[in-house]
Structure 1
Amino acid sequence: MKQPVRLLSGVLLALLFSLETSASERWVVLGGDIAETLSALKADINLVARDDTVLYPETLTALPSVGYLRQLSAESVLSVQPDRILANQHAGPKEVLEQLDAVGVTLDVVSAPAT
């Protein structure tokens, strides 16, 4: 079970190092796996909202929820005024992610193996 965590951490590390970000940038995280990895990497300072699958660490459950990972609405996500969305590959529906991308929010989809 350690391999997927390392792979996801590696993917997120590469993504985080490639980001030109500032402390004022606002992130929404969609996916408990991504949120947990960001927290473990101490890279969760910019998070302003999460989806309902984010249950750990408990400190992140205090963030506003934008709905369930696979049943999102663009309005709910946009209501927290994000600059960037870090999304699990299962986030959707696809049309909502396309709407978010179309309005100019940076969307990073992180794919990880199921095992």
Structure 2
Amino acid sequence: MKNFIIKLNIFLLIFTFNALINISSAQDRIVIAGGSLTEIVFALGEGDKVVGVDKTSTYPQSVTTLPQIGYWKLLNIEGILSLNPTLFITLSDAEPNNIISQVTQAKVDVLSLKRVPGTLELLYENIEKIANKLQKPDQGQQLINHIKDNLSQIQQKIDMQPNKAKVLFLMSMGGTNSVAGKNTTADALITIAGGENLAKHNSYKSYTAESIIAMNPDVIVLNSHSIQQLGGSDKIDTIPGITETAAFKNHRIITIDDGYLFGIGPRVDEVAKILYDGFYLQ
């Protein structure tokens, strides 16, 4: 009888402990500023706890139905707190500059993560930090290993290419052509996919038609928003100078979704394959 009572008490203790964990988990409310960070949370299987995101969070499709807290460079403390978050995951350079301290002062747990440099090492670091915060360390390591394995396969193919594709990433908006240079997500993705970014300047810079013609890229990458701005893919030839490039003449124009450009995220292997195929298999 005594052993039975002891076993019963142990069972009740374990049951109560698990119940408390489940209650705590059910009450978790995560708000995120940063598309790549949102993708990491969902990739770790914790998307059901996300109650609000910023405008750069567009993947997976289900996040588009969540309440928005604005653009990560123009956040509003009232909008964030109105969602009653228990955890705010944000890029460390989110703005206004005092937004992180404001959320912290409101007694909300904050996980602030670096956005730059846009490297795979930083991606893996951010995955690990988010996974640990969400008590999913094993899932975090599995995600990292999955990405590394896929990128390793792509790298093997890159190593077999005798020459690197010469690439320009072009963002066309309102008649102005901006080209992605160093310290941009586009530049990092081009490099990861085995291409050489012809633009050596920092950040984004407007290019004239003459500049694009002079650089004469083998491949031009455009984002989907630029295609929409142009009025469709059949309007690419309206970009000044583009028809004189080898990329246009050889039909080597690649379009990628804007979602890939909001920081190096867990789908980096997916976009790297798209770009690699465009660089070398077309």
Normalising by structure 1, we get a TM-score of 0.76
* Distance in 1 between residues matched to 2:44 and 2:106, nearest whole Å: 29
Give the number of equivalent residue pairs. Answer: 95
* Distance in 2 between residues matched to 1:75 and 1:54, nearest whole Å: 19
Q: Which has the larger radius of gyration?
A: 2
| Residues 31, 87 of structure 1: 8 Å contact kept | yes
Q: 1:63 aligns with which of 43, 61, 66?
A: 66
Instruction: Tell me the equivalent position of 1:99.
Output: 102
Instruction: Tell me the equivalent position of 1:111.
Output: 114
| Residues 89, 111 of structure 1: 8 Å contact kept | yes
* Distance in 1 between residues matched to 2:94 and 2:36, nearest whole Å: 12
* Distance in 2 between residues matched to 1:79 and 1:37, nearest whole Å: 24
The higher-RCO structure (CA 8 Å, 6+ apart) is 1
Q: SS state of the match for residue 109, structure 1?
A: strand
| Residues 31, 69 of structure 1: 8 Å contact kept | yes
Taking every aligned residue pair, what percent have the same amino acid on both sides? Answer: 32
What do you get for the CA RMSD once the two structures are aligned? 1.4
More helix by share: 2
Structure 1 stretches lacking a partner, 5+ long: 1-20
Asked if 1:43 corresponds to 2:46, the answer is: yes
Q: Which of 105-114 and 59-68 deviates more?
A: 105-114
The C-alpha deviation readout for 1:28-77, integer Å capped at 9, x for no partner, is 01100001111122122210000111011111111000111011011111
Normalising by structure 2, we get a TM-score of 0.32
* Distance in 2 between residues matched to 1:87 and 1:75, nearest whole Å: 16
Instruction: Tell me the equivalent position of 1:54.
Output: 57
Q: CA deviation at 1:89?
A: 2.3
* Distance in 2 between residues matched to 1:28 and 1:107, nearest whole Å: 10
* Distance in 2 between residues matched to 1:42 and 1:22, nearest whole Å: 13
* Distance in 2 between residues matched to 1:107 and 1:41, nearest whole Å: 18
**Runs of 4+ in structure 1 over 3 Å off:** none
